[in-house]
Amino acid sequence: MSFEKFERNGEVAVLYSPGFGAGWSTWNHEYEEALLFDREIVEAVLAENRQLAEEIAERKYPDVYTGGAEDLEVYWVSKGIRFEVSEYDGSERVRVFSPPNGYEA
């Protein structure tokens, strides 16, 4: 699976869904990393077009669950910093910490 990260000013865009109901990346284990970073989806969210973000995900990732798409936000993480996205009742949050845990921006 191929995806490109969105970087700006030394930071990487991370997608997360803070609304309750359904998680975005946390409810898609097969595509979790791609749904955190996918540049095309980030661009749609930054343009405030979450419907397009959902359509891109459905086109690129077969059988993806797009619950949480309507609440998608971008969290900026400094490149090289480690983080995780945790979820409770569909509400995701980004937690930044130091190696060796989590994903790396």
Is 1 contained in some domain? no
Is 64 contained in some domain? yes
d(CA 26, CA 22): 9
Is 37 contained in some domain? yes
- Look over the chain and give the mean of its residue pLDDT values, rounded to a whole number: 92
pLDDT for 17 equals: 96
Is residue 99 predicted with pLDDT exceeding 90?
no
pLDDT for 94 equals: 95
Q: Is the peptide bond before 99 cis (omega within 30 degrees of 0)?
A: no
Cα 4-50-36 angle, rounded to 5 deg: 35
Q: In the chain, how many domains are there?
A: 1
Q: What is the pLDDT of residues 61-96, one digit of tens each?
A: 999 999 999 999 999 999 988 899 999 998 999 998
Task: Give the range of the structural domain holding residue 36, as residue numbers without chain letter.
Answer: 7-104
Is 2 contained in some domain? no
